[in-house]
Structure 1
Amino acid sequence: MVRYFATVARGLEAIAAKELKTLGATEVKPQFTGVEFWGDGSADSDRRLLYRVNLWARTIFRVFVPILEFPCSHAKQLYREVQLVDWRNYLSPEQTLAVDCTGGNTELNHTHFTALQVKNAIVDQQRQQTGRRSNVDPHNPQVRLNLHIHQGRGILSLDSSGSSLHRRGYRPGVGVAPLKETLAAALLAHIDWQGDRPLFDPCCGSGTIPLEAGLKALNIAPGLFRAQFGFEGWPDFDAPLWAQLRAEAEAARKTQLPAAIVGSDRDLQTLQQARDNAAHCGLDQQVDFKLQDMAEVRPPTEEPGVLICNPPYGHRLGEAEELKGFYRELGDLFKQRFTGWTAYVLTTKPLSKEVGLKASQRFPVFNGTLACTLLRYDLY
């Protein structure tokens, strides 16, 4: 059986674990900012699972395949252990390489230095075997490795995803402080929105929440928009299998939303980014984006649905104070115009008090490193 490890944002481990189970993972175990999971033991089905998770997962960042777990207390030990691996099984001297490092200990406390030891051990072995070595490409390598160090142990893994999976590939335009696509997808999973009710975001920015909702409702695999995955540079890459999985994903796309998805924003430039992003993922005829100030906002459909938004938080001193009026306006909007709807607001604790409504539920959520709360309001 092959062991895998998916990295996720803090607090989203349980949601990601549930998603991985639906994609066929077994022995799924949530951990801090990650989820360990396994295939079923056969090489073909494990490879299929790896490709499928990268193609379909909406809430995870990367999928690692651990290849070595070892004692790792100092640089010489790290170099020696990495050299015990026969790297011909993983890359050739003609392929480019990058090494990322996370964690550390007393002796290995600088990630760039630690990653350099791994790289040196690999290319020194290549020189000894062939007289040639892999070049380093930190931005777009053909093979990317990750070393995680905790206390005196190290885990060296192949990075099957390449760049983070939150970079779907459909979003060249982003607004100020954009929400990561993975977090937007996790919020939709958290509120159990299945696409069968209208969804409205009155502070949509560059459109992340409405577009992730559209992809989910139309059963569109988010990985279809990416140009490349890390596993495509591996010696055992199965191109026919990958082509088959992509073809199956294309065939599974639905053509019509079961319920309306609408976003609005008061900034024309930001809204244009949302429309451009919608065009890049083929949702420009499906998801509606409106230019309107908060005072102009009305329910976009006669049928009540779900209102969800990620308003500005105001990180710097004084900004939160200036936003209090905006949050009060948001609360008034809910009360006066959205009877029958369910509203969700992602924000910080101090600003949540300004909405002026009693939340029926509160869910702790991290937006990056910032502790936030997702509040639910049942609007009667």
Structure 2
Amino acid sequence: MGDNFKMVAKTLFGFEDLLAKELRNLGAIDVKKGVRNVSFYGDIGFMYKANLCLRTAIKILKPIKRFKVRNEQDLYDQIYRIAWSKYMNSSDTLAVDATVFSTKFTHSKFIALKSKDAIVDKFRNTKGERPNVDLDYPDLRINVHIQQHDCTISLDSSGQSLHKRGYRSSTNIAPINEVLAAGLVMLSGWDGQCDLLDPMCGSGTLAIEAAMIACNIPANINRKEFGFEKWPNFDEELYNKIEESCLNKIREFHHQIVCYDKAPSAMRKARENVRNANLADYISVEHEDFFKTEKTNEGPLHILFNPPYGERLPVDVNMFYQQIGDTLKKGYANTNAWFITSNMEGLKAVGLRPSRKIKLLNGKLESRLVKYEMYEGSKKAKKQ
């Protein structure tokens, strides 16, 4: 495979299929799904492209070493043996993240610390000076993954998590993670071929991700930097070429994306984020209480939203969800309505039968993405 090497893209639970499909569409080789991750092969240019374009990836890791590990000393010795000077200088800064699924090793913070010690000691003993730790903006971010006795050491090519797209300067109380938002748009099957409404838009994230999908704008074009930009072998010219070719694939979008929120503060935030993402031409943010609205356009409408769960935002859940059902029934014929919730009681109160239910996690909360098909008249008439 020439200059191709193995990489692992991490994602959220339930998004593995979406990410695998994205990777294949981008041109990845030998794509294999895991749990919350997808492995693949590509070259250095593809690594840049994956970070720039993937909507459902949280991190792109480049494994550099695999070994069996029996105890902490073992871990230290194996990491010490790696030729770290290939990847960083003693004057650089580093951060180590650890993920541990093992009966033998249980404390990920301790594993991260032990790994960091091994790298720092190696530099001190061979170069006479040691790199410092910088948890926020390190020159090199290293990932240690232990599954029972198997340990994988990877370089983190993304740096900060890829859900930090760079357009969101302001959020409200319970903002939705950008990767989760993009995945919801994709799972709902929206492809920019009709109007879209987010009736409870909060900071506008769902609408922004939807517009970027409709226009084929690279997901992470607004980010300040990626981890790989600080690597010794970073090829700036190649990166610029790839960025330019991705930008050339942007397309026009001929429908409307509308956001409602009844809180003026949320509207202000949503508008600001839409401006930061350079999408004000495509998204309008309006001050509306969804429960007092009805469908304004002819033709099909795609509704997608993230209503309050009663977790961080106080609402009378049953009444609130009943109003969602009533509003859809009365005012929104000829629409596909999707929303995500972790409130299973609330879901019963909607009073409509979902045609689809997809199990997801929103942070730590087990959630459902549900779809309601709202017909003109009754469903029975539609069938006849």
User: TM class by shorter-chain length?
Assistant: over 0.9
Number of residue-to-residue matches in the alignment: 371
Residue in 2 that maps onto 1:10 = 13
C-alpha contact (below 8 Å) 1:200/1:300 kept by paired residues: no
Partner of 1:130: 127
Question: Which aligned pairs between 1:236-255 and structure 2 lie closer than 5 A?
Answer: 236-254=233-251
Separation in 1, partners of 2:351, 2:105: 50
| 1:358 corresponding residue in structure 2 | 353
The alpha carbon displacement at 1:107 in A equals 4.8
Once the two structures are overlaid, the 10-residue window that deviates more, 328-337 or 111-120, is 111-120
Whether the 8 Å CA contact 1:17–1:29 is kept in 2: the answer is yes
Deviations 1:54-97 (A, max 9, x none): 00000110010111111222111011001111111111112111
Matches within 5 A, 1:237-276: 237-254=234-251, 256-276=252-272
Deviation for aligned residue 1:106: 4.7
Moved over 6 A (4+): none
Give 1:319 deviation, angstroms.
5.5
Give 2:284's aligned residue.
Answer: 288
Residue 345, structure 1, aligned to residue 339, structure 2: yes
User: Could you tell me which of 19, 25, 29 is aligned with 1:26?
Assistant: 29
Q: Is the 8 A contact 1:72 1:154 kept in 2?
A: yes
Establish whether residue 144 from structure 1 lines up as the match of residue 141 from structure 2.
Answer: yes
**Residue 212 (str. 1) matches residue 206 (str. 2):** no
CA drift at 1:250:
2.8
CA distance in 2 between partners of 1:345 and 1:224 (Å) = 27
Cα distance in structure 2, aligned partners of 1:300 and 1:187:
24
> How many angstroms does 1:300 deviate by?
4.2
Secondary structure of the corresponding residue to residue 132 of structure 2: coil
Distance 1:300 1:232, change over 3 A: farther
Q: Is the 8 A contact 1:16 1:59 kept in 2?
A: yes
Q: Is the 8 A contact 2:194 2:302 kept in 1?
A: yes
Supply the AA of the counterpart residue of 1:343. A
Provide the residue aligned with 2:318 in structure 1.
Answer: 324
SS of corresponding position for 1:375? strand
Q: Say if 2:188 is the partner of 1:191.
A: yes
Note the alpha carbon deviations across 1:251-304, whole angstroms, 9 max, x for none.
3333x4221111101111011110000010101232011111123322242232
In the alignment, the residues of structure 2 paired with residue 196 and residue 203 of structure 1 have an alpha-carbon distance, to the nearest angstrom, of: 21
Once structures 1 and 2 are overlaid, which stretch shifts more, 149-158 or 120-129? Answer: 120-129
Cα separation, 1, equivalents of 2:280 and 2:292:
23
Tell me if structure 2 keeps the 8 A contact 1:73–1:151. no
Q: In structure 1, what is the equivalent of residue 230 of structure 2? A: 233
The one of 356, 359, 378 equivalent to 2:373 is 378
Task: Say whether the 8 Å CA contact 1:308–1:344 is kept in structure 2.
Answer: yes
Asked if the contact 1:173/1:206 (under 8 Å) is kept, the reply is yes
What is the distance in 2 between the residues matched to 1:195 and 1:269?
28
1:322-358 Cα shifts (integer Å, max 9, x gaps): 1211111111111111111111121132211111111
The answer (yes or no) to whether the contact 1:262–1:300 under 8 Å persists in 2 is no
Find the aligned partners of 2:101 and 2:185 in 1 and give their Cα distance: 34
Q: Contact (CA 8 Å) 1:197, 1:305: kept in 2 or not?
A: yes
- Please report the RMSD computed on the Cα atoms of aligned residues, expressed in angstroms: 1.6
Gaps of 5+ in 1: 40-45
1:29, distance to aligned residue in structure 2 (A): 1.2
Contact 1:260 1:301 in 2 (8 A): no
Aligned pairs for 1:59-98 within 5 A: 59-98=56-95
In structure 2, the residue matched to 1:180 is 177
Kindly provide the amino acid, as one letter, of the partner of residue 326 in structure 1: F
Q: TM-score when scaled to structure 1?
A: 0.94
Q: CA deviation at 1:104?
A: 4.8
CA distance in 2, matches of 1:183, 1:345: 12
Residue 108 of structure 1 is matched in structure 2 by 105
Letter aligned with residue 328 of structure 2: F
8 Å Cα contact 1:91-1:235 kept in structure 2: yes
CA deviations on 1:18-51 (whole Å, 9 max, x unpaired) are 1111111121111111111112xxxxxx111111
Letter matched to residue 18 of structure 2: I
**Distance in 2 between the 1:378 and 1:55 partners?**
34
> How many Å apart are 1:204 and its aligned residue?
0.8
Identity of aligned residues (%): 36
